[in-house]
């Protein structure tokens, strides 16, 4: 275990812990809401509205994909926080870094909607979610090293949790590499494979694994 001054720990019933949770939920809510700004109301005559909306299919797909991925990140954040008895300044710092990434999501989403076949747009989108996944692993590593959990975690469960996240990161990195040559294929891969990894990893491993996140 890594030594830590317990006076710098914030219990889950403390106002400090609650403020971190409230800030996190607020950032997620704002990011999810701002994603809709990646869509534009066509300024065309009424008779041309259907065609103009059809032209916005890339933006709509980018919105749906980003909303799904950010919602999944929020769900994982929610489940992680629910397992913690304490937060410490290091965990809070990593969480703030992750929130910065979440707040940034609408920007690459807008790039993908504008130019879904452009390498730089797709790579920035996928790369941001790789960074978010790495930060989540950092929070898990720190929580385990400082024993911040509400209940004991077995070594086997810990290994499976790390394996789960490393599988997700591997998928995202693979999608990133694919996107270098085929940007659209990279987007499809991260969308489909992320769901597949979640389903597969949720069904394997020890029974107590499912009680965590």
Domain for residue 29, yes or no?
Answer: yes
Ordered alpha helix ranges (H), the chain: 15-34, 49-55, 57-82, 89-104, 106-114, 119-145, 155-181, 183-203
- What is the total count of domains within the chain? 1
CA-CA distance, 120 to 180, in Å (whole number)? 9
Asked if 127 contacts 76 with a C-beta cutoff of 8 angstroms, the reply is no
- Asked whether the predicted pLDDT for residue 97 surpasses 80, the reply is yes
Q: What percent of the chain has pLDDT over 90?
A: 69
Asked if 190 contacts 168 with a C-beta cutoff of 8 angstroms, the reply is no
Domain for residue 3, yes or no?
Answer: no
- Give the gyration radius of the chain's Cα atoms: 19
Domain for residue 183, yes or no?
Answer: yes
Instruction: Report which DSSP code applies to 84.
Output: B
**Placement of tokens 């812990």 in the chain:** 17
Domain for residue 199, yes or no?
Answer: yes
Q: How confident is the model at residue 198 (pLDDT cuts 50, 70, 90)?
A: low
The token pair that represents 138 in the structure block: 């950092």
Average pLDDT over residues 62-77: 93
Show the domain range for 27.
Answer: 8-211
Domain for residue 164, yes or no?
Answer: yes
Domain for residue 55, yes or no?
Answer: yes
* 210 vs 159: which has the higher pLDDT: 159
CA-CA distance, 144 to 126, in Å (whole number)? 28
Domain for residue 120, yes or no?
Answer: yes
CA-CA distance, 143 to 137, in Å (whole number)? 10
To the nearest 10 degrees (0 to 180), the angle between helices 106-114 and 119-145 is 150
Q: Length of the chain in residues, anyone?
A: 213
Asked if 102 contacts 132 with a C-beta cutoff of 8 angstroms, the reply is yes
What's the pTM? Answer: 0.89
């Amino acid at each position: 275990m890594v030594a830590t001054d317990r006076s710098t720990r914030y219990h889950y019933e403390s106002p400090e812990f609650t403020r971190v949770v409230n800030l996190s939920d607020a950032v997620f809510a704002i990011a999810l809401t701002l994603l809709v700004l990646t869509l534009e109301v066509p300024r065309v005559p009424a008779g041309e509205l259907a065609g103009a909306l059809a032209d916005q299919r890339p933006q709509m797909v980018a919105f749906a994909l980003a909303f799904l991925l950010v919602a999944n990140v929020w769900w994982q954040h929610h489940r992680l926080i629910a397992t913690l008895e304490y937060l410490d300044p290091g965990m809070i710092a990593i969480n703030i870094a992750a929130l910065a990434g979440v707040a940034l999501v609408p920007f690459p989403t807008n790039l993908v909607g504008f130019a879904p076949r452009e390498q730089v747009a797709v790579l920035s989108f996928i790369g941001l979610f790789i960074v978010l996944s790495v930060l989540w692993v950092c929070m898990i590593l720190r929580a385990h090293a400082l024993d911040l959990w509400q209940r004991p975690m077995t070594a086997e469960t810990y290994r499976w949790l790390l394996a789960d996240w490393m599988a997700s990161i591997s998928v995202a990195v693979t999608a990133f590499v694919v996107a270098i040559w085929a940007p659209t294929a990279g987007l499809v891969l991260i969308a489909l494979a992320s769901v597949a990894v979640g389903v597969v990893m949720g069904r394997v491993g020890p029974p107590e694994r499912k009680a965590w996140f």
